[in-house]
Every structure is written in C-alpha cells, then in structure tokens.
Amino acid sequence: MNEKKMSLSAIENLLYYDSGLKGLSGVSNDLRELVSSNAPSASLAIDYFVYRIGLNAGMLAAALGGLDAFIFTAGIGENSVTIRARVAEKLAWLGAEFDPSANVARKLLISQPNSRVQLYVVPTNEELMIARHTRSLLLKDVSRVLPQSIA
C-alpha cells in the first residue's frame, strides 16, 4: 500500500479482478475469452493454467501413490472441451488415456476403456448444495429452540 500508494479498495480490485488469469493475459479472467483470443498473452495464461493443474495433479498422485480417477467439474471442468483435452495430455504419464471423441460429445467418461486413470466429467449444482447446507444449518438452529417432535 505504501510503496504503490494504493488504497485498500484499489488493492482489493487488483487481487479480485486483475490478478490470476487476467494478470497473466491482460485480456480476461474468463477462460472462454482466453481460448477464443489470438493474443499471445492469452495463450500464455492458458498454458500456465494447464501447467499448474498438471503440477498439482502430479503432487497429489505422488502423495497418494497414484490415481484411480481424475474428475473435471464446475464451470471450466464441465464446459471447456479444450481445457479438458489439454489437462488430459498432462495426465498421460500417470496412465490416463484420453478419448477425444467422448470429450467432444460431452460424455461423462472421457477416457479410453483401457485407461489406468479414468477421466470423468461430473456436473455440479452449487446452488443446490448451498441450499442443502443452509437448510441443514437452519434445522440445527430450529431444533435447539423447538421441541424435537416439531423440528
């Protein structure tokens, strides 16, 4: 703050909106925009993103003594055919055999039948999980003040 003479809100903006993929690319923090961009910096950001996933998958595989499966989920994992293909390439050394046609067809299983590491796409529903957790917390609080037969 002192060196750059930045306010707290400017630092928040830098960290929340202008760092990460946006900081690397100078284009966007949205992978869809980066994939469709011709900017070399967008390509760099994607390369780094995929590299970090591969790096962390390798560390987890080492810690666990191997992998049985790798799951693609949430916004990017569920929706980006390109990123799934790029990440799958990084997992080949672990025995993941990618099925490009299953990936493009948006199947749930996107690895070859003989793959040692299965590759899955698992849809998420964050809103449903938030609602379930909220309901659970509310019911716990209600059960403290209401008789058990009502809660």
Taking a C-beta distance cutoff of 8 angstroms, is the pair 119, 68 a contact? Answer: no
Give the three-class secondary structure for 121: strand
Q: State the pLDDT confidence band at 19, using cuts at 50, 70 and 90.
A: confident
Q: What is the pLDDT of residues 44-88, one digit of tens each?
A: 999 999 999 999 999 999 999 999 999 999 889 999 999 999 999
Place of tokens 């499966």: 69
Place of tokens 């925009």: 33
Q: What percent of the chain has a predicted confidence (pLDDT) above 90? A: 60
What totals of helices (H) and strands (E) does the chain contain, helices first? Answer: 8, 2
Phi-psi region of 146 (alpha: psi -120 to 50; beta: other; left: phi over 0): beta
> Would you state the structure tokens that stand for residue 81, as one six-digit string?
């055919």
Mean pLDDT, the chain, whole residue set? 90
Taking a C-beta distance cutoff of 8 angstroms, is the pair 119, 98 a contact? Answer: yes
User: Does the pTM exceed 0.75?
Assistant: yes
